[in-house]
Each structure stands twice: as C-alpha cells, then as structure tokens.
Amino acid sequence: MSTDSTFQPVRTKPWDFGMLSTEEFGEREKELVLQVLEKKRVFRYYGGDKEQSECYRLEKLYRETVGTQYALAVNSGTSALVAALIGAGIGPGDEVIVPAYTYIATAAAVLTARAVPVIVEVDDSLTMDAQAFEAAITSHTKAVIPVHMRGVPCRMDAILDVASRHNLIVIEDVAQANGGSYQGRPLGSFGQAGCFSFQQYKLITAGEGGMLLTNDEKTYARANIYHDSAFVYWDMNGGIQEPPFPGENYRLSEINAALALAQSERIHAIIAKLQHIKSVITAGIGHLEGIRLQTIPDPKGDVSYSLVFYLPTAEQSQAFSKQLSREGIPNGTINNNGFADRHIYKNWTYVMEKRGASENDTPWNCQSYKGNVQYSRDMCPVTLDLLSRAISIGLHQHMTDDDCDDVIRAICKTAGSL
C-alpha cells in the first residue's frame, strides 16, 4: 500500500450523507405529527373511533402493502419478535433457530419468550444457511427466525421447504429489510409472522417502533393480548376471543405512528434509488479479480443500502479496508468498528454464557427444557470466515453518479495496489 507523501486520495470531499431515514424528514412528517398534536390524541385507544388513530392507519398501510390479513403496531422491532413468538405459542422448553449473523435482539427476543436460541451458520449471502438450519433441528425445535440481513432477502424457498418438512413455525425478522421482496413477494409475508423495526438506523423510522404482520388469526390475537396487559379490557378490542393472559406494554404511541406513516409512504421510491446506486457500483467493480461480490438470493428484492464484497483472506481484507478509507471511502469490516459488534454471535455475551435475568431460573435450566444446546465463540467457523473477509460500504439514496464513480474508482485503485 502507498505511503508516499504525494499520495492523492480518489475522494477529497466529505462522506456526510447522514442516516437513510432521518435525511428524508420533511413537510409530510411535520404535517402528520402536528395533526396528532392538534387532535390531542397521543394514545391509540383514546377517543373511540379507531380509524382516527395513526396506529390504525399505519397498520392498514402495512396490511395492504405486504398483503397480510392482520397487522399490529408495537413500540420496537424486538417487541414485534417477542409478541410474534408468544403469539405463535412458543415458550419454555422450545428451541428456536437463529442465524449467527443478526442483531443480538433476535436472540434476546427468543430468551424473553423463555425459549432457547440455537445458533446456525450463514452462507455467503450473509443470511441463514438452509442446510445448517436443517442440521440443527432437534426434537425440541419449535421455530426458526430467518433474518433478512442488511436488506438482503434470505433464500425463503429453501428455508420454507425445511420448515415445512419438519413442521416448524417460521417468523421472519425483517427489521433490516423493510420494503424488500423475494421472488416478487414482499418480505414479511412468508412466515407465520413477519416482524419490522422503525428504529432510527433503519430505512424508515419512527425513532422507535415496530410492526408485526400475520395471516394467522390465533397468532394475531395472542400477540395483541401480550403487547398490552390490559388489551382485552379496552372497549375497542372486544373482538378478540382468545382467553386473556399476562402481557407487557408494547403499545406504539400516536406520535411515533404518525412519523412511521409519513416515512413509509415513500419507502419504495427510496429503495428504487438505492437499487440504481448499487447496480451502478457493482457493474463498475464486477470485473475485478481478487474480490467477490456478496451473493444476493434475489437482486430485485434487495433493499440495496449495503454493498458487501469479499477478499481472499482476512489479512487482505484488513489491508484493503485501510487503504479504501485512505481513498476517502468509509467502510466496515469485522474488526475495525472499535467495539464488539453485537450483530456477530460470538459477541452476544449473555447468550454465550447462558446468563438470564435470574441466576436460578433461565430458559436453559428451567424444568421445561430437556435439551442441551451448547455455545462457543468458534462454533460457526464459516460465518466468522466470511465476516473476516468481508468489506461493507453503506449506500445512501442521496448519492449522485459522481459519488458512485468515486466508490468505483477507489475500489479499482485499491484492488490494483494489492
């Protein structure tokens, strides 16, 4: 790599695009939030008329967009996962299979439902490997959570095939892929439930918030009960026939719902821009020897805010990443964030150590669990190898053709200097 004092980076102007979601804040967000304040209705069950609720309108938008019969707005993507698991009847004694590369909340939701997470390898799409999923199934397995990581759709046909043959429940984690699809079908519509996040780092935001989608009436009813400990006692919810049981408070406020609604109205336009940007860059670097682009199971359904490619070795990846940064292109690898990345299973400390909120009663040692799942930091070597060789570049809908050209030239220049 060049250390010449005359070195001139490809990109000299700042890379300061901001977050995908909040950079879109505008008059529509102000309009809908102010409407909530003017109505003086910030709680969804206040006022009697549910169709005046922003939460209800948000649920209606997602039902119609994704094509499910039921939708439940909640206060986070994690809450959506927990409510979906409880709604599907998953609990103590059950095992739920999760990928080794996902945010820790996926595993935490399983534990909150008092079930045991079983961690399996991802493939070079960085989503769940269907063969690893099938190999991990035991007599205790009840469900699987495929995660559409970094906006990339999982191989849902293969995952659904395995789940169907073993009679397992599928709950999609769509937190990082809102608006994506697989083989023409919206993500979140494949499993017994689909779970979304509106947290600020996501493509669209409510600050905090989430959504659970399902076509299963019982799952919806039970998730509703669980998301609000007083749910069955509100007059507006008299249609739920499931017997009540203790729940949490996962309700979404009307202000958060208004913000999510304004953002969600433009999601497909944002994705179209991102797909164009990613296609331009991948076309410009696809010829390079020594780097290999991430496999995308369905490019048409890729949300496309992340560009990932692999180097032959971890050492080459680190050197490439450092030089690419010198060229003015921010990027990430498994090791250069300066902190333990909680998207990688080996850094899920309380999972690795089987540590619950109570020392005496955890999902692993409770009387109902008869399995013996084991964890170790090196248990998924394929995943760790892929991540050690991967370089990721965050894309943004405000990138211009010149910005794309900077990325292409910087990658080509760096590849040529290896």
Question: What type of residue is 61?
Answer: L
3-state secondary structure of 297: coil
Which of 225-234, 356-365, 392-401 has the lowest average pLDDT?
225-234
Instruction: Give the closest residue to 174 by CA, choosing from 248, 84, 273.
Output: 84
Structure tokens at 84: 């979906």
Same domain assignment for residues 320 and 227: no
Question: Higher model confidence: residue 135 or residue 46?
Answer: 135
Considering the domain architecture, whether residues 251 and 273 belong to the same structural domain is answered as: no
Please check whether residues 155 and 288 belong to one and the same domain.
no
Q: Are strands 141-144 and 169-173 parallel, antiparallel or unpaired?
A: parallel
User: Above 90 in pLDDT, residue 40?
Assistant: yes
Verify that 255 and 281 share a domain, yes or no. no
Distance from C-alpha of 270 to C-alpha of 204, rounded to nearest angstrom: 9
Q: CA dihedral defined by 311, 314, 315, 318, rounded to 10 degrees?
A: 80
Domain boundary, last residue among 265, 289, 317: 265
Give 272's contacts (C-beta < 8 A, 6+ positions apart).
none
State which of 265, 284, 311 marks the end of a domain.
265
Alpha helices in 27-90 (DSSP H): 27-39, 54-62, 77-87
Residue 222 in domain: yes
**Residue 411: which CATH number?**
3.90.1150.10
Q: Mean pLDDT, to the nearest integer, of 273-300?
A: 97
Domain of 326?
267-340+383-417
Residue 405 Cα to chain centre, angstroms: 29
- φ, ψ of residue 278 to 5 degrees: the values are -65, -40
Q: Is residue 15 part of a domain?
A: no
Shared-domain flag, residues 54 and 148? yes
Please check whether residue 349 lies inside any domain of the structure. Answer: no
* Per-residue model confidence as pLDDT tens digits over 250-270: 999 999 999 999 999 999 999
Same domain, 79 and 214: yes
Give which of 275, 270, 277, 196 is closest to 19, Cα–Cα.
270
Q: Give the DSSP H/E element, type plus range, for residue 182.
A: strand 181-182
CA nearest to 80, candidates 156, 152, 157, 147: 147
User: Which DSSP state fits 337?
Assistant: S
Q: Is a pLDDT exceeding 60 seen at residue 338?
A: no
Q: Estimate the crossing angle of helix 77-87 against helix 104-112, to 10 degrees.
A: 40
**Residues 93, 103: Cα–Cα separation, whole Å:** 23
Region for residue 394 given its phi and psi (left: phi exceeds 0; alpha: psi -120 to 50; beta: otherwise)? beta
pLDDT digits (tens, 9 = 90+) for 345-382: 999 999 999 999 998 899 999 999 999 999 999 999 99
233 inside domain: yes
In a domain, 83, yes or no: yes
In terms of domains, do 309 and 244 share one?
no
* Residue among 343, 410, 403 nearest 104 (CA): 343
- Give the pLDDT confidence score for residue 143 in this predicted structure: 98
Q: Which two tokens stand for residue 249?
A: 């408070």
Q: Note whether 261 and 272 are same-domain residues.
A: no
Q: Shortest CA distance to 55 belongs to which of 227, 263, 205, 254? A: 254
Q: Are residue 217 and residue 69 in the same domain, yes or no?
A: yes
Q: What is the dihedral of CA 304, 276, 58, 259, to 10 degrees?
A: 90
Residue 143 sits in a domain of what CATH number?
3.40.640.10
Question: For residue 246, is it within any domain?
Answer: yes
Provide the 10 A C-beta neighbour count for residue 201: 13
Cβ burial, residue 354 (10 Å; 0-12/13-18/19+)? middle
Q: Do 189 and 333 reside in the same domain of the chain?
A: no
| Claim to verify: residue 52 and residue 166 sit in the same structural domain | yes
Bridge pairing between strands 141-144 and 95-99: parallel
Look at residue 378 and tell me if it is in a domain: no
Query: How far is the C-alpha of 340 from the C-alpha of 385, rounded, in Å?
Result: 16
- What distance in Å separates the CA atoms of residue 227 and residue 275, rounded to the nearest whole number? 35
Angle between helices 54-62 and 254-264 (to 10 degrees): 40
Residue 308 lies in a domain: yes
- Whether 236 shows a pLDDT value over 70: the answer reads no
Q: For residues 205-216, give the mean pLDDT.
A: 98
Instruction: Indicate the residue among 245, 265, 285 that finishes a domain.
Output: 265
In this structure, how many other beta carbons lie within 10 angstroms of the beta carbon of residue 214? 26
Give the least confident one: 100-104, 133-137, 355-359: 355-359
> In the structure, what pLDDT confidence band is assigned to residue 51 with cuts at 50, 70 and 90?
confident
Closest C-alpha to 117, from 131, 133, 130, 403: 133
Residue type, 268: H
Express each pLDDT in 293-335 by its tens digit. Answer: 999 999 999 999 999 999 999 999 999 999 999 999 999 887 6
Burial class of residue 280 (count of CB atoms within 10 Å of its CB; 0-12, 13-18, 19+): middle
Domain count of the fold of the chain: 2
Which string of DSSP letters, residue by residue, matches 104-125? HHHHHHHHHTT-EEEEE-B-TT
Q: Are residues 391 and 330 in the same domain?
A: yes
